[in-house]
């Protein structure tokens, strides 16, 4: 910072009263001070140019109150500033101007105006009092300032040597205070305060105090450096900085928040009751955190990791409620029927109660069934019966293995997987964790999530499950895992092998009626703000609702329709303000919901080539109307209706069987070469596959070949072989319930499925639908096709006659 030496002879000429204004940011120029200013704003550059051209190189410098204001107004600028002389101007390549100025006099703005794109001010020079007689205080301040300056320089303060000599030679309070103020390391607001102090002695006191403060800080910094250097390792910069911070905090008497954070983590680690291996890792990471800068990115990662470690329930568990009668009561209250599942839960509780060490491994249950039959809500009831915490995690659409096992901590934003998250959410080591939609897990380049579940759902392996984020084993053996799925064929076999599959079938009409009365209607009345006594559904109305407005295996849509009816009543009560008892009848449902959506699906008359088959879908059983016809052609078999490969092969097997039995049934062998046969399954946009339509397609083709109608009140399912044997298929309970809903009187089933069906099917369903178990397709054809027996008898007579 250069200064002129012949300051006594400076600027004897008269100064003007009006100046171009150059507002400065974070910079105060004092009289006698020479300093470069970088000017970039248009109005500031114009002020410099105007000063050179029209004002004999004089300009007025004043500090902005807020440095961030781009175009200041009068209120944004301090009134007291410095008249300065422009010594040198240099234009820079970036468009800015570098101006070397020298302070001349203090002055106050009297008038502020803007013209020709720049600010101009009229000022009055501030005259300072003159002290002619000797003043002991002034002399003491001058000597003290010189001593402090020497001390500051010895402690490392940087001052231009020439300026030091000038300061030591000056005895005038006004000039000395301004020169010393120019070398102080202070904020612009403090510098402005010095500039606004007109009394030289008062200004000298203020400068002395600020210099004393700065020298004191330099002494503390020197002390910090000395103290830190004695304790730190050689060239260990990070340790040195930490020691500096420590000494600064001691000098300022501040609380060590860093130390407090470390102590809190230590306390949490002790209270978390971690296994020894986990505790060692936690303390190791805490030691790393202690050595790091608190604001570093790695420190944030370690904090998050430690938070997960201390919040996981390593040794926290809820006490199991082992009252079997109470558990049975809770299960019965929450769900109708589902006896096998309830029995399985009671068995688990019974074994847990009898075992002394209470160390039974949690079973992995998998509820498989159509939507709306109560799989998810059953998991909640199980947790309630056991007295455990319940957490649900949906796996539908999960494609990344890291969603199960967690992300490694090296990734930005890494987190543990769904299993560890569920345990943290539960806050106990032995919750009921429901993994919903396990059959809908995807797979792509990020890995196979179902493979990651193999360890989680294996009671022999999950005792030491390692999440990639945690990186330490966690015992999952006490967790009761419950999975849900709509089907098992999309679940990988190794994963399915680890689970105990419990199938939930669709509900019959009678079951739906009971569920609606006991569970759905009361719940919907409560949810829609009404009272139980206000609404009464007749059995006829509920049955009409089930038959005409729902077509599902579960009861989710039924509850939705019940809710729609109750909301209509709630609306009426809200509009009229009158409460009365509503009796919901069939007519009222029709009024509220409109015409029925669904109608009985069975045929009303017997037709040639039309057979009712039965199919299993994810949403329950369905009836399939299979149609066949013939037309002149060359013996081709045409199959339409979005049929899969297995279904097409079943059709071809049945067609071949009928060809082989043409003589027995009296079919003209020439028909197989004179006609084309077309088999179609309506709802052509919906893909269909599976072997269970084999007998239905064969019956439809036989009906067309014999030109005889099929009974419309019969349905059938089963796989067929080339020799006509009927093989077992799956999903029979759902298929039979679908037949019952459609009003079918008789169903043909494979004989090998008899034991399974008779065990699973409720008595009133068996009573409503006659079941015929067959081993061969001939048994079905003889009963289902009208007039076939007379045709066979006639054919046999013709054969006998031909022989004789």
CB 370 within 8 A of CB 553: yes
**Is residue 372 a known part of a binding site?**
yes
Q: In this structure, what token pair is assigned to residue 726?
A: 């009927």
Q: Is 609 annotated as a binding residue?
A: no
CA distance to 686, 712, 730, 744, per residue, from 553 (Å): 18, 23, 16, 17
Count other C-beta atoms under 10 Å from residue 161's C-beta: 8
Distance CA(366)–CA(452), nearest Å, equals 17
Residue 692 annotated to the active site: yes
For 61, the 3-state DSSP assignment is strand
| Cα distance between residue 636 and residue 672, in whole Å | 8
Q: Which of 175, 342, 688, 735 is catalytic?
A: 735
Neighbours of 408 (CB within 10 A): 11
Find, among 285, 275, 287, the residue nearest to 306 by Cα: 285
Burial of 783 (0-12, 13-18, 19+ CB in 10 A): middle
DSSP helix/strand/coil, 152 = helix
CA angle 236, 237, 243 (to 5 degrees): 95
Q: Give the list of residues 6+ apart from residue 368 with CB closer than 8 angstroms, or none.
A: 484, 485, 486, 487, 488, 501, 502, 503, 504
733 CB neighbour count, 10 Å cutoff: 23
| Rounded Cα distance, 377 and 382, in Å | 9
313 known ligand binder: no
The answer to whether the beta carbons of residues 149 and 214 sit under 8 Å apart is no
Strands 432-436 and 465-466: unpaired
Give the rounded distance of the alpha carbon of 294 from its chain centre.
28
621 SS3 class = strand
Identify the residue whose tokens are 């109750």. 566
User: What is each CA distance from 292 to 298, 301, 736, in whole angstroms?
Assistant: 8, 12, 69
Angle at 474 between CA 393 and CA 359, to 5 degrees: 95
Any idea which residue has 């300032």 for tokens?
Answer: 145
Is 318 annotated in a binding site? The answer is no
Structure tokens at 159: 């001052």
Which residue reads 């002991």 in tokens? 136
Phi-psi region of 14 (alpha: psi -120 to 50; beta: other; left: phi over 0): beta
DSSP assignment of 696-758, as one string?
Answer: HHHHHHHHHHHT-EE-TTEEE--EE-TT-BEEP-S-HHHHHHHHHHTT--EEEEEGGGHHHHH
Q: Give the DSSP letter string of 465-501.
A: EE-TTT-SEE--TT-EEEEEES-STTS-HHHHHTSEE
Question: By C-alpha distance, which of 522, 520, 503, 504 is closest to 512?
Answer: 520
On whether 369 is known to bind a ligand per the annotation, the reply is yes
Establish whether 152 is an annotated binding residue: no
373 annotated to bind ligand: yes
Active site residue: 182, 692, 703, 712, which one?
Answer: 692
Catalytic positions are: 692, 735
Which residue numbers belong to the known binding site for ATP? Answer: 369-376
Which residue numbers belong to the known binding site? Answer: 369-376
């Amino acid at each position: 910072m250069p200064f002129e030496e012949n300051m006594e002879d400076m600027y004897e000429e008269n100064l003007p009263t009006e100046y171009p204004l150059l507002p400065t940011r974070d910079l105060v120029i004092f009289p006698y001070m020479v300093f470069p200013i970088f000017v970039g704003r248009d109005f500031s550059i114009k002020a410099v140019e105007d000063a050179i051209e029209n004002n004999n190189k004089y300009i007025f410098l004043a500090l902005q109150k807020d440095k961030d204001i781009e175009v200041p107004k009068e209120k944004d600028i301090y009134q007291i500033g410095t008249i300065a002389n422009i010594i040198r101007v240099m234009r820079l390549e970036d468009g800015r101007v570098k101006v070397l100025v020298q302070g001349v006099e203090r002055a106050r703005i009297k008038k502020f105006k803007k013209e020709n794109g720049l600010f101009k001010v009229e000022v009055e020079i501030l005259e300072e009092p003159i002290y002619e007689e000797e003043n002991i205080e002034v002399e003491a301040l001058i000597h003290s300032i010189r001593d402090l300056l020497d001390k500051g320089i010895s402690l490392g303060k940087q001052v231009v040597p020439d300026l030091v000599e000038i300061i030591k030679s000056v005895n005038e309070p006004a000039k000395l205070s301004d020169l010393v103020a120019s070398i102080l390391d202070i904020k612009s607001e403090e510098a402005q305060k010095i500039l606004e102090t007109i009394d030289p002695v008062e200004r000298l006191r203020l400068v002395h105090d600020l210099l004393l403060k700065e020298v004191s800080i330099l002494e503390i910094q020197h002390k910090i450096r000395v103290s830190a250097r004695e304790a730190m390792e050689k060239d260990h910069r990070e340790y040195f900085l930490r020691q500096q911070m420590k000494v600064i905090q001691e000098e300022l008497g501040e609380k060590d928040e860093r130390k407090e954070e470390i102590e809190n983590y230590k306390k949490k680690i002790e209270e978390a009751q971690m296994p020894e291996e986990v505790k060692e890792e936690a303390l190791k990471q805490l030691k790393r955190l202690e050595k790091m800068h608190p604001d570093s990115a790695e420190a944030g990662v370690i904090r998050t990791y430690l938070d997960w470690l201390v919040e996981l329930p390593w040794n926290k568990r809820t006490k199991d409620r082992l009252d079997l009668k109470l558990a049975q009561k809770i299960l019965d209250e929450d769900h109708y029927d589902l006896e096998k599942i309830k029995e399985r839960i009671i068995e688990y509780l019974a074994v847990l109660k009898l075992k002394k060490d209470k160390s039974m491994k949690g079973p992995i249950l998998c509820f498989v069934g159509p939507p709306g039959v109560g799989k998810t809500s059953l998991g909640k009831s199980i947790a309630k019966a056991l007295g455990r915490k319940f957490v649900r995690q949906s796996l539908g659409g999960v494609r990344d293995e890291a969603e199960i096992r967690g992300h490694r901590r090296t990734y930005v934003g890494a987190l543990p997987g769904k299993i560890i998250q569920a345990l943290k959410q539960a806050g106990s080591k032995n919750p009921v964790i429901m993994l919903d939609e396990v059959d809908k897990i995807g797979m792509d380049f990020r890995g196979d999530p179902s493979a990651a579940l193999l360890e989680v759902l294996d009671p022999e392996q999950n005792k030491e499950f390692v999440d990639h984020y945690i990186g330490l084993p966690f015992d999952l053996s006490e967790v009761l895992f419950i999975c849900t799925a709509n089907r098992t064929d999309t679940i990988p076999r190794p994963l399915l092998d680890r689970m105990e599959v419990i199938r939930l079938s669709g509900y019959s009409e009678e079951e739906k009626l009971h569920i609606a009365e006991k569970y759905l209607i009361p719940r919907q009345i409560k949810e829609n703000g009404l009272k139980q006594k206000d609404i009464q559904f007749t059995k006829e109305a509920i049955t009409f609702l089930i038959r005409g407005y729902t077509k599902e295996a579960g009861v989710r849509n039924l509850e939705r329709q019940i809710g729609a009816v109750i909301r209509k009543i709630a609306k009426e009560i809200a509009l009229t303000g009158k409460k009365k008892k509503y009796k919901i009848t069939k007519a009222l449902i029709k009024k509220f919901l409109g015409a029925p959506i669904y109608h009985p699906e069975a045929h009303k008359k017997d037709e040639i080539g039309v057979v009712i088959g039965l199919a299993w879908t994810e949403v329950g059983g369905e009836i399939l109307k299979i149609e066949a016809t013939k037309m002149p052609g060359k013996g081709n078999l045409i199959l339409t209706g979005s049929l899969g490969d297995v279904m097409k092969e079943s059709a071809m097997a049945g067609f071949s069987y009928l060809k082989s039995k043409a003589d027995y049934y009296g079919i003209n062998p020439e028909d197989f070469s004179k006609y084309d046969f077309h088999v179609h399954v309506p709802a052509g946009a919906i893909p269909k596959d599976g072997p269970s339509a084999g007998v239905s397609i064969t019956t439809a083709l036989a009906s067309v070949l014999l030109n005889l109608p099929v009974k419309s009140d019969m349905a059938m399912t089963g796989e067929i072989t080339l020799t006509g044997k009927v093989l077992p298929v799956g999903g029979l309970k759902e298929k039979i319930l679908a037949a019952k809903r459609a009003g079918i009187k008789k169903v043909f089933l494979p004989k090998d499925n008899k034991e399974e069906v008779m065990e699973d099917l409720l008595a009133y369903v068996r009573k409503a639908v006659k079941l015929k178990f067959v081993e061969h397709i001939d048994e079905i054809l003889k009963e289902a096709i009208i007039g076939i027996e007379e045709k066979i008898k006639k054919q046999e007579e013709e054969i006998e006659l031909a022989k004789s």
